[in-house]
A and B are shown apart, each in its own frame.
Chain A
Amino acid sequence: MNMMDLTMNRIDMVFNDLREKGSKALITYITAGDPNLGATADLIIEMEKAGADIIELGIPYSDPLADGPVIQRASARALNNGIKIADIMNMVRSVRQATQIPLIYLVYYNSVFKYGIDRFVKEAHDVGIDGIIIPDLPLEERGEVFDITKQYGIHLIPLVAPTSHQRIPKIVENAGGFVYCVSTTGVTGERDEIQTNIKDYMEEVSRYTDMPKAIGFGISNPDMASQLKDYCDGIIIGSAIVSLIEKAASRDEMLDSVYRFIRGVKRVL
């Protein structure tokens, strides 16, 4: 049976729309199950209202080696709640009734591998996931996952880094969705400034692909988003949002602070 959906992937629709409007995508990240799955479902709706265009849901993992302290702590909080992959799938299935915003899983490879690659991708597709990002699965190891995601019409979002250089053409070859351009060497987390020469870096990536390009890692505020937006098609923000969730004293405060922050960033895009 051919699993390929005949309808267009929601990620592609969003980038097409934004391109027509001449504006940039705001991609927001939260860890699923932090502080609990009900909050995650509420946050998805609230972030969409505030102007998020695409949402990444982190699947909590015991050893998130691409993440800085903020997302490490979020992962630990979710795992302490006993969150399982099946719970996250169910939450997504139910949120999908209320929104058409593109949803992407950010998941470490061992979670997918141990769950069963085909089972994971199939269930993700069935509940309404549009893309998967696996931060520890480079080009050399992605073959099987790449083939299976294609079968189900899910984008395996390719990551490039400022150190990628001659690897870029291979990384973007046949890929879909958008190119996740890691802004700088290092792990996730808010930074005061980005050291990389973004102009040269993004020109290098653009030489090899027409796919939309989004910049992530270290973007903390509207000013930084505004400085970067001309070089790309989207901005990815994670730790700054997760940090607000961590600090909030109540559910209302959490939703309110995240809403305001996202509004503030979306305004400059």
Chain B
Amino acid sequence: MKSITGRFGIFGGQYVPETVMNALIELEKEFNAAIQDEDFMQEYRYYLREYAGRPTPLYFAQNLTEKLSGAKVYLKREDLNHTGAHKINNVLGQILLAKRMGKKRVIAETGAGQHGVATATGAAMFGMQCEIFMGKEDVRRQALNVFRMRLLGAKVHSVESGTGTLKDAVNEAIRDWVTRIEDTFYVMGSVVGPHPYPTIVREFQKVIGEEARAQILEKEGRLPDYVIACVGGGSNAMGIFHPFYHDKQVKLIGVEAAGLGLETGKHAATMAKGSVGVLHGMKTLLLQDSEGQVMPVHSISAGLDYPGVGPEHAYYKEIGRAEYVAVTDREAVEAFVELSRTEGIIPALESAHAVAYALKLVPQLPKDKIVIVNLSGRGDKDVETVASLPEVEV
């Protein structure tokens, strides 16, 4: 009776209450039919192009390249998407799937608020009722995005349970879904959750990597040496990594949040410090104690403040296809300021983690190497957080 459905090695699976199992089976069936259906895919691509503004540029960061005096740095500008982050790619796909399945109500969890904003946006455009679950701590630190979601007509639930962050928002969204399983579509925001969600989200995010791969071949006539992306749940990273999976010469680097430092215990570095466990319907790497209690995590970036990671990333780590590193809050903030001043681009604090690692790596590389950094979102939402730090002069 052992199932291999939706597994990435030992990771993945469907650890959810029986109530939602038929809904997951139906979702998988509809998703598989939809991505084979040329009309569906045309409509998806239409909205990516005309509504989200794709393709996003692969921008040669000349100033940064000169300053770091190492490899050439390109930025995949997901921050230029409508709503300000890569999240809209996946939302458009899932909202179209919801429409195809006749669902009138959508729900979503959100950490930094970017997935919540994207979902509220898609729901507004397609005339669906929308409710967003967000940890109370994130409601506080991402107030701008809460306002945007409300403006877009979504109801925002502030989740008080647990640590009041992304993990608890997912719990609450799952509880709502179990309750209103008949009429509700759960728009999962990252490559996490029970099968088929990690696959659905990857398929709707892989456009990032497909574009980046074609763009670098056009500009440089060859593949990059490194692709760097931040990892919370891991959707922007999986979106850009997956199309490079078979290009073994391309090194894939996921950057997690080391928070106050890996040795302090106040971080969200699941890959560095986690062990195998089950959370939010998936078997993956988790920050947990010896009894399987999920531990509180910390990152200055709400979108990386998550004790788990997508099961496919756990698999990439296990087979050695990607390397996972961690940078601290402080390094991310320095990168946030550095990219703003050098390139005139204010990155999201999440994306600033990927930039921070590039700032360390690039100077050590020869000039003929090429690095692509996935700039998953823009930093408008984080300006207040950064401005309030004593070490930052604005």
Contacts and interface: CB of A to CB of B under 8 A. Distances in A.
A185 B294 contact: no
A138 B21 contact: yes
A138 B179 contact: no
Interface residues of B, number: 39
A29 B345 CA distance: 56
Interface in B254-281: 275, 277-281
Given A113-B292, A138-B18, 7 more contacts: A61-B292, A109-B15, A110-B278, A135-B17, A136-B278, A163-B20, A164-B21
A63 B13 contact: no
Contacts of A137: 15
Contacts of A84: 291
B242 to A, nearest CB: 25
Interface in A52-103: 61-63, 65-66, 68-69, 72, 79, 84-85
A69 B181 CA distance: 19
Max chain B C-beta neighbours (<10 A), residue from A63, A110, A146, A182 = A63
Contacts of B291: 84-85, 111, 114-115
A136 B182 contact: no
B292 A115 contact: yes
13 contacts: A62-B293, A63-B171, A63-B279, A109-B15, A110-B279, A113-B278, A114-B275, A114-B290, A135-B17, A136-B281, A139-B18, A140-B1, A185-B179
Interface in B155-182: 161-162, 167, 171, 174-175, 178-182
A63 B162 contact: yes
Nearest to B288: A114
Contacts of B167: 63
A269 interface: no
B3 A141 contact: yes
B289 to A, nearest CB: 8
Interface of A: 61-63, 65-66, 68-69, 72, 79, 84-85, 108-111, 113-115, 135-144, 146, 159-165, 167, 171, 182, 185-187
Nearest to A180: B18
B36 interface: no
A142 B16 CA distance: 11
B294 A63 contact: yes
Nearest to B22: A163
Given A62-B293, A65-B171, A187-B179, A110 B288 contact: yes
Contacts of A66: 17, 178
A161 B15 contact: no
Contacts of B182: 163, 185
A110 B277 CA distance: 6
Given A63-B171, A110-B292, A115-B292, A136 B1 contact: no
Nearest to A217: B19
B119 to A, nearest CB: 20
Contacts of B1: 139-140, 142-143, 146
B278 A109 contact: yes
B89 interface: no
A79 B293 contact: yes
Contact of A141 (B15, B280, B290): B15
Contacts of B81: none
Interface in B280-303: 280-281, 286, 288, 290-294
Nearest to B19: A161
Given A113-B278, A136-B281, A185 B180 contact: yes
B162 A62 contact: yes
Nearest to B195: A140
10 smallest CB-CB distances across A and B, nearest first, come from A114-B292, A186-B179, A161-B19, A110-B292, A143-B1, A140-B3, A62-B293, A110-B278, A62-B294, A143-B2
Nearest to A112: B292
A182 B292 contact: no
B365 interface: no
Q: Name the residue among B1, B174, B178 with the largest chain A CB count within 10 angstroms.
A: B1
A186 B22 CA distance: 14
B163 to A, nearest CB: 9
Given A63-B279, A143-B1, A160 B18 contact: yes
Q: Which of B275, B288, B292 has the most CB of A within 10 A?
A: B292
Nearest to A83: B291
A31 B35 CA distance: 45
A137 B2 CA distance: 12
B14 A186 contact: no
Residue in A65, A68, A136 whose Cβ sees the most chain B Cβ within 10 Å? A65
B275 to A, nearest CB: 8
Nearest to A140: B3
B388 interface: no
Contacts of A108: 292
Contact of A182 (B13, B19, B281): B19
Contacts of B20: 163
B18 A182 contact: yes
Nearest to A170: B1
Contact of B161 (A72, A139, A144, A159): A72
Contacts of A113: 277-278, 292
A187 B13 CA distance: 21
Nearest to B1: A143
Contact of B18 (A65, A85, A146, A164): A164
